[in-house]
Amino acid sequence: LAPCRAATPTPQHRHAFALMKVRVGIIGLPNVGKSTLFNALAQKALAHAANFPFCTIEPNVAPIAVPDEHQGQLQAFADLARA
């Protein structure tokens, strides 16, 4: 297999690497731990979790950091200064 080669971003797209955001949802059957998983990922008790079905009816939203081992390389590639 040929090695992967990254495309060179244009100046107007350089900062897109640092600003990429993904929206995801947790779905599943009632009373299986979706709110507990959400709270663990958010590292805060944002979603009410109890031991009965349909405890959490309203959607919960939180920004969750996703560590990426390539982030430093992408920032260097895009000439971004780390704050």
Write the pLDDT tens digit of every residue in 16-63: 545 567 788 999 998 889 999 999 999 888 888 887 878 888 888 888
More confident residue, 74 or 5: 74
| CA-closest candidate to residue 13, choices 77, 70, 81 | 77
- How many C-beta neighbours within 10 Å does residue 47 have? 20
pTM listed for this prediction: 0.57
Q: Is the dihedral of CA 66, 70, 72, 78 positive or negative?
A: negative
Q: Tokens 């955001």 label which residue? A: 21
pLDDT at 82: 47
Residue 11 pLDDT class (50, 70, 90 cuts): low
Cβ contacts of 7 within 8 Å, gap of 6 or more: none
- How many C-beta neighbours within 10 Å does residue 11 have? 7
